[in-house]
Amino acid sequence: MKSLAIISLLLISTTPLLAASSFNEVRNVVFGENPMTADIHINNEIKSYEKNHLPHYEVTSDKFIRGGINRLLDRATRTLKDTDDYYPRLEKLLHSNGACFSGTWNINKANPYSGYFKNGSTGLFIGRASTALSETERGDARGFGLAGKIFPTTDKDSVVQTANFFLVDVLMGTQRNRFMDVGLTNKPSLGFRPSVIRLALKIMKVFKGVDSDPIYRQVYPISEMGLAVGEKVRTPKFMMIKTDKSVARNDDTDFRDELNIKKNHSYGIKFNIYVNDTSNKQDDGDWVKIGYIQADESAVSYGCDRRLHFAHPKFK
């Protein structure tokens, strides 16, 4: 009995705890005020956001190594292990420039999948649209991405574990006039841009070292969320998000202005959710629409770019 107790204590002490947050807690990180700190650089960053200035963070390989530490490797390893929804500060080394949303996750079509893919699933949602490298403006080759955080509740104060997903258009970027004109999938194409090929290969090498597939991001955290007793897990192989055709398009140069709900979208932004098990090609006919994300507010903020965290699901 004594040995069993010791083993139990060891298991408890070595088993990582899954982080949990309420929707309002995480929303406040993105949309709330950020307290001033003792760091002048951080304070200046916060003040710039408060003046509604769009930051332009450069993604360069010299930021990956600092003080002899491979920061990109450290971040890639941590994001596969840590489930925290936010940090006091988190400098994003790749998807540095973004815009955040809050709203709801809604599945309204019958389908064979489990958890929060199942018909009738409704939850709260926080997401972040971004570009994979430095480019943010029309005319540049932009690699659009969307990270999503689903809260399995409609109670904004309920503390829960979230499920996260990651979707991208073309990783190296391509010429697209609007974020709203692309489909974003969990297995995007790598693309080809001679100007960034060396940078992309460095990134892929690091990601390959911490996970078996550095491009394909599985969506099983969604299908494992909120399972009924005895429910078998069934996960779609591919997931895609597309902006609904009813959402008015605009010609703002920067994608963050394009997605500004207060400025351009008085009824919010509706993103349709598609799944299939056969092809990740955006124009393939096998995609089935099973629901939508309704984004009701947006923000470009310090908390969005410098604090919000999305835990990556490890390939399995």
Element housing 152 (H / E): none
For residue 87, give both structure tokens.
């940090």
| Structural domain count, the chain | 1
Q: Is residue 112 part of a domain?
A: yes
Amino acid at 110: A
Q: How far apart are CA 193 and CA 203, in angstroms?
A: 14
Q: Is residue 43 part of a domain?
A: yes
Q: Is residue 30 part of a domain?
A: yes
Domain encompassing residue 286: 19-306
* Per-residue pLDDT, 268: 98
Q: Are 305 and 89 in contact (CB under 8 A)?
A: no
pLDDT tens string 189-198? 877 676 667 7
DSSP 95-134: S-SEEEEEEEEEE-S--S--GGGSTT-EEEEEEEEEESSS
Average pLDDT of the residues of the chain: 87
Average pLDDT for 273-284: 87
Q: Is residue 141 part of a domain?
A: yes
> What crossing angle do the helices spanning 71-81 and 197-210 adopt, rounded to 10°?
40
Least confident stretch, 16-25, 88-97, 108-117: 16-25
Q: Is residue 27 part of a domain?
A: yes
Q: Is residue 312 part of a domain?
A: no
Q: Residue 282: which of 191, 187, 162, 203 has the closest Cα?
A: 187
Q: Is residue 3 part of a domain?
A: no
Q: Has residue 225 got a pLDDT over 70?
A: yes
With 0-12 CB in 10 A as exposed, 13-18 as middle and 19+ as buried, what is 241? buried
pLDDT band of residue 207 (cuts 50, 70, 90) is: low
Bigger pLDDT: 101 or 72?
A: 101
pLDDT band of residue 102 (cuts 50, 70, 90) is: very high
Q: Has residue 10 got a pLDDT over 60?
A: no
Q: Has residue 230 got a pLDDT over 50?
A: yes
Least confident stretch, 23-32, 117-126, 200-209: 200-209
Q: Is residue 154 part of a domain?
A: yes
* Per-residue pLDDT, 195: 65
Q: Has residue 142 got a pLDDT over 90?
A: yes
Q: Are 308 and 148 in contact (CB under 8 A)?
A: no
pLDDT tens string 54-83? 999 988 777 777 777 777 666 667 777 788
**How close are the terminal C-alpha atoms of the chain, in Å?**
35
Identify the three-state secondary structure at position 179: helix
